[in-house]
Amino acid sequence: MNAIISASELASDLTGPRPPVVLDVRWQLGGPSLRSAYEQAHVPGAVFVDLDADLAGPAGAGGRHPLPDVAEFGAAMRAAGVDADRDVVTYDGGQGWAAARAWWLLRWTGHPSVRVLDGGLAAWEGPLEAGEPEPEPGSFRPAPGALPLLDADGAAALARTGLLLDARAGERYRGEVEPIDRVGGHIPGAVSAPTSDNVTADGRFRSAGELTGRFGSLGVSEGRRVGVYCGSGVSGAHQVLALAVAGVPAALYVGSWSEWSSDGSRPVATGPEPQ
């Protein structure tokens, strides 16, 4: 199954005999919750999921958005109506990062059928509804490990032996600016691969062929292990999603730069080159 779904495909699926569970994951970095915006207008039947509360654990030594407690994540997904045998579609305001984080967590914990709405809510042309639905509780029980996961040591090793992609903006990779974390720069050996280059101006993913060409130019090749990190494991999930569209499996370093840079003993590289 393709990891993304178009607005027209979602509209069709919502009229079918067993429509997908739709999760609204609108979120903004450093900003207040967007639940109020969701309550004013959302895709019919969509259930709001809070990235900071439901898709991440408390910020700390493991980074700004570490993995959530698996039991708590499972409870949140069941409360949203997620079943193991029912399709799930996630969307956000259009950037795609938060929706991809929900996609990745559900896939990592074993859900077999999750897609991201290509272009997010901005691409939706159907009706919107207000308020908040009360879904029937779902039956999904998370079983972590269905997708590959990296810790700090694993990311460092992969940068030496495979291909580690840094999904942040180029200026953060180069260490020219660092608006959030302790220090700028990148994991030694990582290759700059900004997530923004995976989408067109309207926020939709480039074609599978275009993405294959892009990742090939960055060093992706058959048999080479690929990993991704970003600032805190959110935009990196979007990069893993783009790689999936291109048919490339990739591991995610969830702690990402926010974890790596918090430890002053870890090496930091700067400049445009991996080393």
Could you say which of 164, 230, 240, 243 is catalytic?
230
Amino acid at 1: M
The answer to whether residue 230 is catalytic is: yes
- End-to-end, the C-alpha distance of the chain in Å comes to 37
Quickly count helices (H) and strands (E) in the chain: 10, 10
> Tokens 């942040």 map to which residue?
168
Q: In the structure encoding, which two tokens stand for residue 41, read together?
A: 């207008």
Amino acid at 85: D
Per DSSP, the three-state class of 211 is helix
Q: Determine the Cα–Cα distance for residues 159 and 275; give it in Å rounded to an integer.
A: 10
Helix boundaries (H) for 43-183: 51-54, 70-79, 97-108, 152-161, 170-174
C-beta of residue 45 within 8 angstroms of C-beta of residue 14:
yes
Active-site positions read 230
